[in-house]
Chain A
């Protein structure tokens, strides 16, 4: 779907925010860990290992 110019700006802004924040994600991070955080499940897997930059 072709997006109007103002939407293209908004989409680019959103993509920029995600790109900046995602640089700090651990390799083991996955969406299901959201539920684990709420349910108080142990935080063992995933660790704090940070992903390598995508272009390496």
Chain B
């Protein structure tokens, strides 16, 4: 297994072929070389990482292994609170985002032996689909300079693609794990609502927020999710369901798995190259034994509207203080989105929550009676040029961003697990990706499908920024 994957690196450290200090130094060398362009980090914790690596190296020498990630360098989106490091949430006001509660998901990875390289860039307050950030620098696409890395977990995806760390935590309220994963050609999974505790992570919308891993392969994501998931006394919404050993089932293949390609909505208005890439991935999965058919799904527009309204109302409630006290320090596009939320009535918000329950029940019942997995594009257009985004007015920018996340946002409303998997490249050299969506808590099947596809297609053997 290649040391470029998290699984391979963990195995090499365990076999003493590479030490935790060497692993960190390799990452730091790549960060020094490339992060001046990518801007994946908001705060690189070089000293902290090396100190942790030295301690883990001593532990390894003494035969003390902390867990499956012993010595593996990871990165954390800068909305994960970690003791000893400030949390900016993509703003320039970290003093507004102080928490005694550490991010439970990040802490679990660190307790399993992982090393934190620091805090990762993101769009301001996790409100944005492209990964631009006026305060900390726009995150650049590792595959094609000057193009969006996707947001809001932009640093997480770009950093994984660039080999800055073996995996990262992202958050996803409307697509913020899957969009940057799709733009940067890495795997990202938004688990079922409640599968991973959100304790200790900035809230954007408590009804729509999900935390999940971004990694180079589905196997790496499976390993991370196993550690991150599970009940948590600090988060009442975290499910008490047992967490499966996701990696154990990866080799099961896709024979007999019923895959549905939606006839409506998900391929409408999508770039030809992107639609063709996803359909080609469907044919490859069919060749591996899956049963692929077309399916008409309940119109996702209703859930998209409902999810957007709920998110806006909750985001404005959560961030009211910073909006009122420091509006001039927020980017205009973020300020404009927050302002709308203050005008949403309690009646509309509560009806939206009731509608969400009804729409979810109907979608789960109708779709999963016919198929096991939905296969769709992740993004409707290739990652745009950053320069083109800069010329848009606030209204144009937010309208375009809304369109960019229209294929992912329905599944935040529905709470269903959804994975983004790379499936090739555009003629311009930017990544293509598909989104696979499953039944509630069926992350195992999505990871198995992703792994089976990656092993057959082999796209993960290509990397950007090769030395």
Interface residues of A (CB under 8 A from B): 1, 3-4, 6-8, 10-11, 14-15, 17-18, 21-22, 24-26, 29-40, 43
Q: How many residue pairs, one in A and one in B, have C-beta atoms under 8 Å apart?
A: 90
Contact of A18 among B194, B355, B364, B440 (CB under 8 A): B355
Which residues of chain B come closer than 8 Å to A17, judged between CB atoms? Answer: 302, 305, 309
Q: When chains A and B are docked, how far (Å) is the Cα of A14 from the Cα of B340? A: 11
Interface residues of B (CB under 8 A from A): 192-194, 239, 241, 302, 305-306, 308-309, 336, 339-340, 342-345, 348, 350-358, 360-361, 364, 395, 415, 440-441
| Chain A residue nearest in CB terms to B362 | A37
Q: When chains A and B are docked, how far (Å) is the Cα of A38 from the Cα of B351? A: 19
20 inter-chain pairs at a CB distance below 8 angstroms, sorted by A residue, are A1-B339, A3-B343, A11-B343, A15-B345, A15-B348, A18-B309, A18-B352, A18-B355, A21-B305, A25-B358, A31-B350, A31-B356, A33-B361, A34-B353, A36-B357, A38-B192, A38-B194, A38-B415, A38-B441, A40-B440
Is chain A's binding surface mostly helix, strand, loop or mixed? helix
Which residues of chain B come closer than 8 Å to A24, judged between CB atoms? Answer: 358
Q: When chains A and B are docked, how far (Å) is the Cα of A4 from the Cα of B351? A: 24
Contact of B364 among A22, A25, A35, A37 (CB under 8 A): A37
**Do A21 and B357 touch across chains, with their CB atoms under 8 A apart?**
no
**Do A29 and B354 touch across chains, with their CB atoms under 8 A apart?**
yes
**Do A37 and B357 touch across chains, with their CB atoms under 8 A apart?**
yes
A-B pairs with lowest CB-CB distance, top 5: A33-B357, A31-B353, A34-B357, A38-B440, A22-B351
Contact of B339 among A3, A36, A37 (CB under 8 A): A3
> Besides the contacts A21-B305, A22-B355, A43-B361, what 5 more A-B pairs have beta carbons closer than 8 Å?
A3-B343, A7-B340, A8-B343, A22-B351, A34-B357
